[in-house]
Structure 1
Amino acid sequence: MNESQVSPKVRGREATRAKLLDAAGEVFAEVGLGEASVERICERAGFTRGAFYSNFASKDEMFIELATLVARERVDAVRSRIDEIAIDCDATDVTVIIRALDVFGDDRASAMLMSEITIHAMRDADFAAAYSVQIDAVTAEVVQLIDEIVEAKGLRLKLPADDAARIIVGVWSDSSVRAAIANLEPEQLAAQRTRELSQIVDLLIVR
Structure 2
Amino acid sequence: MTDTQTADTAVTSPRREATRQKLLDAAALVFAEVGVDAASVEAICERAGFTRGAFYSNFETKDELMLALTERVAGEKIDEVADRVAALQARGEELEPGDLVRRLLDAAFDKKQGILLTSEIRTRAMRDPRLAKAYIEWQANLVERVGSFIENLAQTYGFRLRVPATEFAGLILQTWEDTAAFAVMSGLDPEATHTLVNERTARLATALVDPV
TM-score by length of 1: 0.91
In structure 2, the partner of 1:52 is: 55
2:192 aligned residue (178, 188, 196): 188
Structure 2: unaligned runs, 5 residues or longer: 1-7
Q: Please give the alpha-carbon distance, in whole angstroms, between the structure 2 residues aligned to 1:139 and 1:176.
A: 18
SS in 1 for 2:73: helix
Q: Per-residue deviation at 1:94?
A: 2.2
Q: Per-residue deviation at 1:117?
A: 0.6
In structure 1, the partner of 2:31 is: 28
Q: Please give the alpha-carbon distance, in whole angstroms, between the structure 2 residues aligned to 1:6 and 1:192.
A: 49
Q: Mean alpha-carbon deviation: is it higher for 110-119 or for 132-141?
A: 132-141
> CA contact under 8 A between 1:26 and 1:109: conserved in structure 2?
yes
Q: Mean alpha-carbon deviation: is it higher for 96-105 or for 27-36?
A: 96-105
In structure 2, the partner of 1:201 is: 205
Q: Per-residue deviation at 1:6?
A: 7.4
In structure 1, the partner of 2:42 is: 39
2:88 aligned residue (85, 91, 100): 85
Q: Per-residue deviation at 1:129?
A: 1.4
1:21-59 Cα shifts (integer Å, max 9, x gaps): 100011111111111110111111111111111111111
Q: Per-residue deviation at 1:68?
A: 0.8
In structure 2, the partner of 1:169 is: 173
1:46-75 Cα shifts (integer Å, max 9, x gaps): 111111111111111101100111011111
Q: Per-residue deviation at 1:183?
A: 3.1
Q: Please give the alpha-carbon distance, in whole angstroms, between the structure 2 residues aligned to 1:70 and 1:100.
A: 17
SS in 1 for 2:161: coil
Q: Please give the alpha-carbon distance, in whole angstroms, between the structure 1 residues aligned to 2:23 and 2:91.
A: 38
Q: Over aligned residues, Cα RMSD in angstroms?
A: 1.7
**Residues 1:100 and 2:101 aligned together:** no
Alignment: residue pair count: 203
Residue type at the aligned position of 1:70: V
SS in 1 for 2:167: helix
**Residues 1:119 and 2:123 aligned together:** yes
Q: Please give the alpha-carbon distance, in whole angstroms, between the structure 1 residues aligned to 2:49 and 2:29.
A: 13
Q: Per-residue deviation at 1:78?
A: 1.3
Q: Per-residue deviation at 1:88?
A: 2.2
1:132-182 Cα shifts (integer Å, max 9, x gaps): 222111111221122122212222222222211111011110111112212
Q: Please give the alpha-carbon distance, in whole angstroms, between the structure 2 residues aligned to 1:72 and 1:14.
A: 16
TM-score by length of 2: 0.89
Q: Please give the alpha-carbon distance, in whole angstroms, between the structure 2 residues aligned to 1:154 and 1:81.
A: 19
Q: Per-residue deviation at 1:204?
A: 0.7
> CA contact under 8 A between 1:106 and 1:189: conserved in structure 2?
no
